[in-house]
Amino acid sequence: MLKELNHIPPGLLDLEATGLEAELGGPTLIHLEGRRLAPLLVTVLMHGNETTGWEAVRRLLPPYASGEEVLPRSLSLFISNVSAAAVGLRRLDGQPDYNRVWPGCEDGGTPEHALMLRVMETMKARGVFASIDVHNNTGMNPHYACVNVIENRFLHLATMFSRTVVYFIRPCGVQSLALSRICPSVTLECGKPGQLNGVEHARDYLHACLHLAEHPEHQLSPRDIDLFHTVATVKVPAETTFGFGPEPVDIRFEDDLDFLNFRELACGTRIGLIRPGSGAELVVLDEHGNDVAQRYFSMDGGELKLRIPVMPSMLTRDSRVVRQDCLCYLMERYNDHLI
């Protein structure tokens, strides 16, 4: 069930993410009126342990919630997976990933799919101006923005946050990809949860977006953006054991694996060791769902190595995130595709 409000409940902005379920009862869409009517949609806590978006909103909204100031643009705030946030998890066991159930994904039929469809239809009816989905990640990554459409309005919105921008079309069912069909949309990746610089960066960005009168449409100079394209998703099969220490597992990844994010790695770079006789391998799917593991990885004397130069993102040492989502994404430079 989606709860909709036209105000910030008293005391809501005083609560940490863990306290939102008790106050709101479930996913909640809050509409606040501003001088410009077309609303900015801000989505937070799509993953319950990614709290930077909520912390940024807590710092952004007090003068508007109190009536001290008037919002320069209407704002719709979607507070998403509050049940997972209550226990500090990405998602609860048995829940689908809230950022894989938006319109346009291959499966459907769950209450969460219906929930996200209702949010999208509500925002379309309100003439949404732009959509911002705020996330964190678990590995060592820079702050960057993601887009799902190579078009100037989207790229300008992204570079307001960072000159590092990632273009992807998979996984499907993500919020920004669904909203891109009705307005410019971006996903923000704000580093690890709990870092003040990520909270302040997101807050300042949202403040700037609220003051946008229109979307710039002129072409970006390649000098003003570092654009990357996600070409593959790397997963560990459910039956394969893995780890980062001396314990006996099928794949033992390098201890400093997450420090390889956003680094252009050379052919032959080792990312782990394969236990002899285990037959372990990674699942690597391109953006069309094709198996491309042999293109990117080789096993040489029990060492798992890169077969070609590549740049990873979102490499993580968080085993739960690897199981629930993926090990990482692989990227290529994409500035030549700017229009």
Average pLDDT over residues 211-232: 94
The one-letter amino acid code at 200 reads E
Q: Is 335 exposed, middle or buried (0-12, 13-18, 19+ CB in 10 A)?
A: middle
Residue 41 Cα distances to 30, 129, 275, 281, angstroms: 10, 8, 48, 41
Average pLDDT over residues 112-129: 97
Per DSSP, what are the bridge partners of residue 130? 40
The predicted-structure confidence for 246-270, as pLDDT tens digits, reads as follows 889 999 999 999 999 999 999 999 9
Q: What is the largest CA-CA distance in the chain?
A: 67
Average pLDDT over residues 202-208: 98
- What pLDDT is attached to residue 107? 74
List the chain domain ranges. Answer: 3-220, 231-332
Per DSSP, what are the bridge partners of residue 41? 76, 131
Residue 49's nearest CA partner among 147, 177, 194 is 194
- What pLDDT is attached to residue 72? 98
**Percent of the chain residues topping a pLDDT of 90:** 92
Structure tokens given for 222: 């390649």
Residue 84's nearest CA partner among 70, 71, 98, 74 is 98
Q: Per-residue confidence at 326, pLDDT binned at 50, 70, 90?
A: very high
Residues 6 or more apart whose Cβ sits within 8 Å of residue 75:
31, 32, 34, 39, 40, 42, 64, 210
Q: Is 154 exposed, middle or buried (0-12, 13-18, 19+ CB in 10 A)?
A: buried
- What pLDDT is attached to residue 286? 96
Task: Encode 49-62: b = buried (16+ Cβ within 10 Å), e = exposed.
Answer: bbbbbbbbbbebbe
- What pLDDT is attached to residue 139? 85
CB neighbours (10 Å) of residue 117? Answer: 16
Q: Decide the pairing of beta strands 28-32 and 73-79.
A: antiparallel
Name the one residue in this structure whose structure tokens are 């902005």.
Answer: 13
CATH class of segment(s) 3-220: alpha beta
pLDDT at residue 1 is higher than 90: no
| d(C-alpha 188, C-alpha 53), whole Å | 9
CB neighbours (10 Å) of residue 14? Answer: 10
Average pLDDT over residues 88-93: 96
Q: Per-residue confidence at 339, pLDDT binned at 50, 70, 90?
A: low
Average pLDDT over residues 218-224: 90
Structure tokens given for 87: 């226990």
Are 163 and 224 in contact, with CB atoms under 8 Å apart?
Answer: yes
- What pLDDT is attached to residue 141? 94
